Amino acid sequence: MWAGMLACVCLLFVFIWRLWAVLPKSSSKPRRHSTSPCKTCIVLGSETNSTPGGHTTEMIALTRNLDDQQYAPRTYVIANTDSLSEVKARQLEQERSGHEQKDYFILRIPRLREVGQPLSSVPFSVVKALLGSFKILSNLPDLIICNGPGSCISICMVAYLPRLLGIKHIRIVYVESFARVKTLSVTGRLLYPVVDNFLVQWPELLETYPRAIYNGTLV
């Protein structure tokens, strides 16, 4: 029994040490020295006909000017009950060159929590979303860009697995919503310590979150 407990403690220690080793110690502007395409995962928000706008609208604005040759292929991650984000993603790809691009994918995952969902069932939804997020590893992206929907939490957790195992460092860039002027969103507070680059759109946030990067209004 003691041997088993000691083994568990050792494994826990190794895990914590490895996690500490791979956590970003500072936030710096991303630099790409490679000329090869950057496989990019773009996490869109959750939209319905009754609640348009929000995270997806901001993310579309953020990524509209991405070089479609350098940041390719692009994978748009959307909640499986989202009724509008896929349409907006396809419209964006069509606008890039006047016709629908071929170098992108739509990936659907379970929503972390539905609006009005009872708290008692949330743990099951979290596990389901976490398992569904493993789909992003099928194409091992080089870069993940997200800006606040709850689903990006499970995606970022899964993205850390290749980093922990020494397989690949998937760079995670989080852009806080324009609506957050003095405080971060819940998602932002959770991801602030773990993402590689944390961008804010209001300078007031730098006082409380020194790791953040402020480059002005991005949307």
Helix (H/G/I), strand (E/B), else coil: 179: coil
pLDDT number for residue 50: 47
More confident residue, 123 or 74: 74
Binned at pLDDT 50, 70 and 90, residue 13 comes out as: low
Region 60-66: what's the mean pLDDT?
A: 91
**pLDDT for 20:** 58
Is 175 in a helix, a strand, or coil?
A: strand
Question: What residue numbers bound the domain in which 123 lies?
Answer: 35-214
User: Do the domain assignments include residue 3?
Assistant: no
160/23 Cα distance (integer angstroms) = 9
> What's the pLDDT at 23?
66
End-to-end CA distance of the chain: 57
pLDDT tens per residue across span 141-153: 999 999 987 888 9
* DSSP letter (8 states) at residue 200: E
Q: With 60 as the cut, is the pLDDT of residue 51 above it?
A: no
CATH number at residue 113: 3.40.50.2000
Report yes or no on 109 lying in a domain.
yes
Q: Which residues pair with 206 in a beta bridge?
A: none
Residue 23 lies in a domain: no
- Checking if the pLDDT of 155 tops 60, the result is yes
Note whether residue 84 is domain-resident.
Answer: yes
Distance in angstroms (rounded) separating the CA atoms of residues 23 and 42: 21
pLDDT-based confidence at 82, cuts 50/70/90? confident
Q: Is 6 domain-assigned?
A: no
pLDDT at 180: 92
- Percent of the chain at pLDDT > 90 equals 53
Helix (H, G, I), strand (E, B) or coil at 195: coil
The answer to whether residue 12 is domain-embedded is: no
Inside any domain, residue 54: yes
**How many independent structural domains does the chain possess?**
1
Within 13 Å, how many C-alpha atoms sit on residue 158's CB side? 24
pLDDT at 129: 87
DSSP 75: E
Q: What is the mean pLDDT of the chain?
A: 83
Answer yes or no: is 11 within a domain. Answer: no
Would the pLDDT of 8 be above 90?
no
What gap in Å lies between CA 194 and CA 156, rounded to an integer? 9
**Could you give the 3-state DSSP secondary structure of residue 47?**
coil
> What's the longest Cα–Cα distance across the chain?
67
CA within 13 Å, CB half, 145: 24
